[in-house]
Amino acid sequence: MAKSTTMNELKRPKQKLTGKNLARKWWNQKYLQFMVIPGLIWMLIFNYLPMGGIIIAFKKFKITRPISEAPWVGLKYFKDFFQDIYFADIMTNTIGISLLKLIIGFPMPIIFALLLNEIRGIKFKKISQTLSYLPHFLSWVVLGGILTTWLSKTGVINDFFMALHIIDEPKSFLGDPKVFWGIALISDIWKELGWSAIIYLAAIAGVDQQIYEAATVDGANKLQKILLITLPCITGTIAIMLILQISGLLNSNFDQILILKNQVNISRSQVIDTYVYQVGMTQGNYSYATAVGLFKSVIALFLLLIANKSSKKLLGRSLY
């Protein structure tokens, strides 16, 4: 009887969401709606209102004069950026570091979450999770100081490599441009691995345990359960996170790069975000910096649209 009632409810056509129904639905969720208001206000103030300043990318703006009085220069600053002698290095570093984090860094939290899920010792599992979360709560200023010490000639990394006879004499790793991309990748994984795995652990926790029990009866081993049950069940979460990661391909973690960058490794560490900061905040060329930042945002929008459409077509999952 219950099953028949449920089927009838599913077959029943959905009511159109009229203004009256929408108002009733909003009122029934009034407390939840009120909780959203501070977030909306924050987003309006810090995300939408500043967008009016984008116009200075097309004007010769000076801080001493209002934006309305600044002369119009069109696409001049965009052309200047494309013709900049550092353009090739900046784009290569930005895309290179981001691709490394996408190809290598993105799957790591998924693998870590799958491994944690297989741990049966509750105490050991909690300790592992806690230790993996800790670096996330330290700022890059603190972690940058730690890494600078570790990677110096007298640091623990040199001692470790020399003990294994990987290197013959101490070297300053942050003074070697060739290894900067690797340092950026490994340090980013170290800091965010545990924290990023949380969302995948939550998705895994939502998988119906009866499916695993049925697989056990059929003789499936742990690897088969992971490949044939766990991963397909969390594909939606992985797809959403991948779309967001691809859309931020030109974001190279400003805090991390700014802390680890120096004049010796700048040829491999200068990215769009640090270049915008250098040109805008230290040199006061706000129009040029805004044009570079706007260029990055437009590319990010196209990447988001392409990644979302591809995911929807291939996996049937998307942001919208």
- What does 25-87 look like in DSSP terms, one character per residue? HHHHTHHHHHHHHHHHHHHIIIIIGGGGGGGGGGB---TTS-GGGSPB-TTHHHHHHHT-TTH
Residues 12 and 74: their CA atoms lie apart, in Å, by 57
Q: Contact, 194 vs 201, CB < 8 A? A: no
Q: What is the per-residue pLDDT across 234-257, written as a single tens digit (0 to 9) for each?
A: 999 999 999 999 998 888 889 999
Tokens 């693998």 appear where? Answer: 111
Residue 83 confidence (pLDDT): 94
Q: Contact, 291 vs 55, CB < 8 A? A: no
Beta partners for residue 102, in sequence order:
none
- Candidates 1.10.3720.10, 3.40.640.10, 3.20.10.10, 3.40.630.10; CATH matching 75-314: 1.10.3720.10
- Please compute the mean of the pLDDT values over residues 42-51 and round it to a whole number: 90
Delimit the domains of the chain by residue range. Answer: 75-314
Residue 7 confidence (pLDDT): 42
pTM of structure: 0.84
Q: Contact, 267 vs 181, CB < 8 A? A: no
What's the chain's average pLDDT?
Answer: 88
SS3 104: helix
| Structure confidence at residue 318 as a pLDDT band (50, 70, 90) | confident
**Does the pLDDT value for residue 31 go beyond 90?**
no
Dihedral over alpha carbons 170, 173, 178, 181 (to 10 degrees) = 150
| Structure confidence at residue 19 as a pLDDT band (50, 70, 90) | low
Residue 51 confidence (pLDDT): 87
Residue 238 confidence (pLDDT): 93
Q: Contact, 67 vs 56, CB < 8 A? A: yes
- Please compute the mean of the pLDDT values over residues 47-53 and round it to a whole number: 87
What percent of the chain is modeled with pLDDT above 70? 94
Residues 201 and 293: their CA atoms lie apart, in Å, by 35
| Structure confidence at residue 1 as a pLDDT band (50, 70, 90) | very low
Q: What is the per-residue pLDDT across 141-179, written as a single tens digit (0 to 9) for each?
A: 999 999 999 999 989 999 999 998 888 889 899 999 999
Residue 17 confidence (pLDDT): 55
Beta partners for residue 59, in sequence order:
72
**Does the pLDDT value for residue 14 go beyond 70?**
no
| Structure confidence at residue 53 as a pLDDT band (50, 70, 90) | confident
Burial class (CB in 10 A: 0-12, 13-18, 19+), 164: exposed
